[in-house]
Amino acid sequence: MVRSLVSFVMLLGIVLGAVAYVIRNPDLRDQILPASATGFLREKGALAALGAPDGDVLIGATPQDFLIETSGGLVADGPIAAAGGSKPVFIKDVLSGHSADPGSDIPAEITTIRPILGCQLTRPLGGTVIGHVTSTSSPLTLALTTYSDADLAAAVQDYVDAYRKFGAGARLPASGPRYQSHDVAVTETAAPVYLVLENLAGNRIWNIHLADGVQIERVVLLGGNQSGVANLDPVVPVEVILAEGLAECGIDPAYVPGPSPISGVQPTPDAATRSRADAYDIWFRDTFDVLAGESRLGFAEGAVTLVGPVPSGSESKAVYASIKGARVRTTQGPFFEIRGQVAAGQDFAARVLMIATGFAFGDLDRLLQGGTF
């Protein structure tokens, strides 16, 4: 009897742990839970209780409690935004109405933009405030996917390898590389703001949220495979240099790690890192009139970054603008999908299956051990 009770408790713990893991990861929630279930969990406070990034804050908790230092940089493990000096602040204190579950939001309009020709960006006007945001990863994923032939080839190889191992039990990929979104809350009203939004990996949509009185002069998107902006006034110009373009221009984004906001310790960089960071600082200063390392805002992983002062009251907060019904301007790969709006047989998984089947001469069971696609 006791052994059965212990086994039951252990099983219950495993199940609850798995549920918590799914709820805390928006990408998995999108794949496993229907939108109605996610809405119910949010309404009942389950997302907050299990640590989802838009959850309510426990009494007595501080922003610092949700900041984790890893070998890859600072990680926001809860409802915090990055402010100046890598200082964490609660999202609710800088951005009103924030949602951390945009996975089912569909924009009203998507306009394709292209990277600039050459390497010369438009300089900021005199007196402009530079808002320089960097991000490696965001917990927010969108219903937008873009991919290339190279992405398809990699997915086919993975599927072929899995089929050789598991046979018909091999799973097709759920989707191609999805866009992550990152919320940029702007509260700077003393002067026009020139946003430099630097994506260090993957596909990114930067969702812009403004406080009353904010003026955006221009937006520059640097790095990443694909990059775009949402909820930006269509008259504001956007210039893009993706990761491939930066490499062609000889621009190598690099930073010397600053003092830890947790321990206060500043790591000593090696000579190569220092040299790369110095070179990037020079290019950044010559382009935007500020040094990259000194102007940088954001955590390595997080959902929200604040550009401007921490609001003193509700009237000075930035106001959240949803991706749903928004105008989006973005670069795209050769293939672009909106989840739920793709013709049968034309989505990423169907393309992978078609290519893999052709590779197997029409019969997946002919796949042999060894070899690569």
pLDDT tens digits for range 147-200: 999 999 999 999 999 998 888 889 999 889 999 999 999 999 999 999 999 998
Nearest to 346 by CA among 108, 167, 168, 175: 175
| CA gap 140, 209 in Å, rounded | 15
| CA gap 182, 26 in Å, rounded | 13
Q: What is the pLDDT of residues 273-320, one digit of tens each?
A: 899 999 999 999 999 999 999 999 999 999 999 999 999 887 899 999
Q: 201: buried, middle or exposed (CB in 10 Å: 19+, 13-18, 0-12)?
A: middle
Average pLDDT (203-230) is 97
How far is CA 230 from its chain centroid? Answer: 13
pLDDT band with cut points at 50, 70 and 90 for residue 9: very low
**Which uninterrupted H or E stretch holds 187?**
none
pLDDT band with cut points at 50, 70 and 90 for residue 49: very low
Q: Is the pLDDT of residue 352 over 80?
A: yes
Other C-beta atoms lying within 10 Å of the C-beta of residue 132: 24
Q: Is the pLDDT of residue 360 over 90?
A: no
Residue listed under structure tokens 């960097």: 134
Q: Is the pLDDT of residue 28 over 70?
A: no
Q: What does the pLDDT read at residue 15?
A: 52
- Provide the angle, in degrees to the nearest 10, between the axes of the packed helices 348-359 and 149-166: 60
Domain boundaries, the chain: 1-52, 58-366
Tokens of 177: 């590389």
Q: Is the pLDDT of residue 54 over 70?
A: no
CA distances (Å), origin 264, targets 31, 39, 259, 294, 315: 40, 40, 5, 17, 33
pLDDT band with cut points at 50, 70 and 90 for residue 240: very high
pLDDT band with cut points at 50, 70 and 90 for residue 58: low
Q: Model-level pTM greater than 0.85?
A: no
Q: Is the pLDDT of residue 53 over 70?
A: no
Q: Is the pLDDT of residue 217 over 60?
A: yes
User: Is-contact 237 214, C-beta < 8 A?
Assistant: no
**Higher confidence at residue 36 or residue 131?**
131
User: Is-contact 321 96, C-beta < 8 A?
Assistant: no
Q: What does the pLDDT read at residue 8?
A: 53
Q: Is the pLDDT of residue 46 over 50?
A: no
**What is the rounded radius of gyration, in angstroms, for the C-alpha atoms of the chain?**
22
Q: What does the pLDDT read at residue 36?
A: 43
**Which uninterrupted H or E stretch holds 285?**
helix 271-288
pLDDT band with cut points at 50, 70 and 90 for residue 40: very low
Long-range contacts of 83-91 (CB under 8 A, 24+ apart): 83/297, 83/305, 83/306, 83/310, 84/297, 84/306, 85/261, 86/258, 86/261, 86/299, 87/63, 87/261, 88/63, 88/64, 88/261, 89/63, 89/306, 89/310, 90/57, 90/63, 91/53, 91/54, 91/303, 91/304
**Which uninterrupted H or E stretch holds 336?**
strand 335-338
* CA dihedral sign, ordered 57, 58, 63, 64: negative
Average pLDDT (54-80) is 82
Other C-beta atoms lying within 10 Å of the C-beta of residue 30: 22
Q: What does the pLDDT read at residue 27?
A: 46
Q: What does the pLDDT read at residue 57?
A: 56
Q: Is the pLDDT of residue 212 over 80?
A: yes
| CA gap 11, 8 in Å, rounded | 5
Q: What does the pLDDT read at residue 206?
A: 98
